[in-house]
């Protein structure tokens, strides 16, 4: 994920960076929480999402 001032503004692949108005993270909750935690730690707007409980896969 590419972020700017706490907002996701695109995604980075091995080959390029893609800028987007909207980014959809399509994943099960555990990996999604880990990615958000790594990229957006400390952003209050993600607190509720990061505190959601989930069952192991």
Cβ pair 2, 10 in contact under 8 A: yes
pLDDT, position 9: 93
Alpha helices (H) in 2-56, listed in sequence order: 29-40, 47-50
pLDDT band at 5 (very low <50, low <70, confident <90, very high): confident
Residues for the chain: how many in total? 57
Residue 55 has pLDDT above 90, yes or no: no
Cβ pair 9, 20 in contact under 8 A: yes
pTM over 0.75: no
Residue 32's Cβ-side half-sphere holds a number of Cα atoms within 13 Å equal to 15
Q: What is the pLDDT of residues 22-41, one digit of tens each?
A: 999 888 899 999 988 988 88
């Amino acid at each position: 994920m590419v972020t700017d001032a706490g907002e996701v503004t695109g995604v980075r692949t091995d080959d390029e960076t893609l800028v987007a108005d909207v980014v959809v993270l399509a994943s099960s909750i555990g990996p999604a929480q880990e990615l958000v935690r790594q990229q957006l730690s400390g952003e209050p707007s993600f607190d509720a999402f990061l505190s959601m409980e989930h069952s192991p896969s």
